[in-house]
Amino acid sequence: MEEYLRKNRDLWDALTPIHARSEFYDVESFKSGKSSLMPIEREELGDVSGRSLLHLQCHFGLDTLSWARLGAVATGVDFSGEAINLARRLSAETGIKADFICADIYDLPDVLQGRFDIVFTSYGVLCWLPDLTRWADVVSHFLRPGGAFYMVEFHPLLTVFDDSANGVQLRPTHSYFPGPEPMEFERTGSYADSTVLLDRPSYEWTHSLGDVVSALATAGLRIDFLHEFPVCCSRALPSMTQDDEGWWRLEGDNLPLTFSIKATKDSTL
């Protein structure tokens, strides 16, 4: 397991400078005032002004800093040292105050003190986590009583289909249900820039929607809502097309592509 996580961390260290100069992340527009947040999370999480917010798996911090621009007292966490260093530089360059911590999620209770009004995570995070039970325990650990956990994520149904460049048909190639070992991929490019040559492996874990909900409920969180959407923030499958608002869709809008969950920690805990 440690070897899987080490290689994934090496991958994200290598991806950080590629993503920082990509059109996908568009860092220059962010510096000029554009938010990196999508409408779903902004609308569903609502006003964060004056509230403490912990962002898990923050990459190089654009969403963390975007929440801070909206008034949150924000802290971002990621296991990539390269990503956290860049996040800190962006915070200093833009003058947006936020704290950034380099740590594996599972080790976070050993290096970070305090509790938060909001714990947040989004888009492409769960597949890098081997153990959702431990993840949910960390979420609960950092929520103050009555605090809210919010996540928005690619729907796990997406992992079933062929996402190769030739996969123009919705052809199931993977199981929806998790196996005993992670899926191994040879990464030759990035979702943010398909032209780069990385030649690095990644190890990703499958989690069903039931796994996610059950882990949070077992950790003592009350599920306030679970929403599913026929849109995606990026082109996760070759057969997707982009609409006028920037969302990626499948023809007919017949399948869920994104889900969101909001959960509350019992005020007595």
For residue 203 the two structure tokens come to 């190890």
For residue 130 the two structure tokens come to 């081997």
Q: What pLDDT does residue 111 have?
A: 96
User: What does pLDDT average to over the chain?
Assistant: 93
What percentage of the chain reaches a pLDDT higher than 70? 98
How confident is the model over 247-268, as a mean pLDDT?
Answer: 93
User: Total domain count for the chain?
Assistant: 1
pLDDT level of residue 116 (50, 70, 90 thresholds): very high
Q: How far is CA 100 from CA 54, 78, 95, 107, 163, in A?
A: 10, 8, 14, 15, 33
d(CA 27, CA 37): 13
Lowest mean pLDDT among 21-25, 155-159, 171-175: 171-175
Lowest mean pLDDT among 99-113, 169-183, 242-256: 169-183
In three-state form (DSSP H/G/I as H, E/B as E, the rest C), the secondary structure along 30-79 is HHCCCCCCCHHHHHHHCCCCCCEEEEECCCCCHHHHHHHHCCCEEEEEEC
- Per-residue pLDDT tens digits for 26-41: 999 999 999 999 999 9
- What lies within 8 Å, CB to CB, of 21 at 6+ separation is 27
For residue 174 the two structure tokens come to 């993977």
Per-residue pLDDT at 164 exceeds 80: no
Per-residue pLDDT at 246 exceeds 70: yes
Lowest mean pLDDT among 94-98, 140-144, 157-161, 222-226: 157-161
Per-residue pLDDT at 167 exceeds 70: no
> What single letter denotes the amino acid at residue 53?
L
Lowest mean pLDDT among 114-123, 156-165, 241-250: 156-165
Q: How far is CA 105 from CA 8, 47, 98, 208, in A?
A: 14, 26, 18, 20
Per-residue pLDDT at 166 exceeds 70: no
Q: Dihedrals φ, ψ of 216, to 5°?
A: -65, -40
Give burial (CB, 10 Å; 0-12/13-18/19+) of 83.
buried
Q: What pLDDT does residue 77 have?
A: 98
d(CA 79, CA 97): 20
How confident is the model over 245-265, as a mean pLDDT?
Answer: 95
Provide the residue range defining the domain that includes 126: 2-265
Strands 52-56 and 73-78, by their bridges, are parallel
- What is the pTM assigned to this prediction? 0.95
Return the beta strands (E) in the chain as ranges: 52-56, 73-78, 99-102, 116-122, 143-154, 183-187, 200-204, 221-229, 241-242, 248-249, 258-265
Cα 269 versus chain centre, distance: 26
Q: What pLDDT does residue 165 have?
A: 63
pLDDT level of residue 269 (50, 70, 90 thresholds): low
d(CA 124, CA 224): 22
pLDDT level of residue 180 (50, 70, 90 thresholds): confident
For residue 106 the two structure tokens come to 């599972």
Q: What pLDDT does residue 96 have?
A: 98
CATH number of the domain residue 63 falls in: 3.40.50.150
Instruction: Check: CB of residue 51 under 8 Å from CB of residue 72.
Output: yes
